[in-house]
Amino acid sequence: MVTDKKIISGCVEGDRVAQRELYEKYSPAMYAICIRYSKDRFEAEDILHDTFMKVYLNMKDFRNEGSFEGWIKRIVINTALNHKQKTKNNNYHQNFDNIRETEILDQNNEHENDEIDIEFTKDELVNAIHDLPCGYRTVFNLYVFEKFKHKEISEKLEITESTSKSQLRKARILLKKKLLNETIVKKLAI
């Protein structure tokens, strides 16, 4: 098993074999993060591509002071956030469509106390998060997975804290609706 140190030194020298090894080792975990931040797998591939290019080109800046995986992960997240800005116009319409569903969801408060006894598959979870508007998805990811506080999110995305809270709430509402629909479908199937 080749160590990270050897892989890193190989990548710094531009060794393609080392670059491939690095990719093989870390791409599955990083691709999973990309999937969470993107609207589909195509976008996730773009983000992962850009991430690894940044990693290869900036490898010499890694100082071996912290976790290498953590360093790549930070690059993934930053790349995903930058990617979000690039594709902002496409998200415009999507936001609106989803918000219409929010109103419907608010009326369906009867599901509030339902016990969830069905486990969701990865695809179901991924599909639900992909359907979120870009801004909601970003805030949800940063809050739930990266454990950012609203203040940190607001600074990172340059939005107000209240917007961050609002978008997180709306993200949860939309995800809940999606997952409840899945639950209903499954129950009916049973």
| Options 96, 108, 181, 184; binder of another protein; rule CB under 8 A | 96
| Options 25, 56, 101, 130; binder of another protein; rule CB under 8 A | 56
Contact status: 68 vs another protein (CB under 8 A): no
> Taking the C-alpha atoms of 38, 40, 43 and 49 in order, what is their torsion angle to the nearest 10 degrees?
90
Cβ closest to another protein, residue 71 vs residue 175: 175
Residues 7 and 134: their CA atoms lie apart, in Å, by: 35
CB of 49 to another protein, least distance (A): 6
Contact 163, 154 (CB under 8 A): yes
| Options 4, 78, 130, 180; binder of another protein; rule CB under 8 A | 180
- Tokens representing 3? 């160590």
CB of 75 to another protein, least distance (A): 14
Looking up tokens 């589909």 gives 40
CB of 95 to another protein, least distance (A): 5
Q: List residues binding another protein (CB under 8 A).
A: 14, 16, 19-20, 23, 27-29, 31-32, 35-36, 44-45, 48-49, 52-53, 56-57, 82, 85-86, 88-89, 92, 95-96, 99, 103, 106-107, 111-116, 120, 122, 125, 129, 135, 140, 143-145, 157-160, 162-163, 166, 169, 172-173, 175-176, 179-180
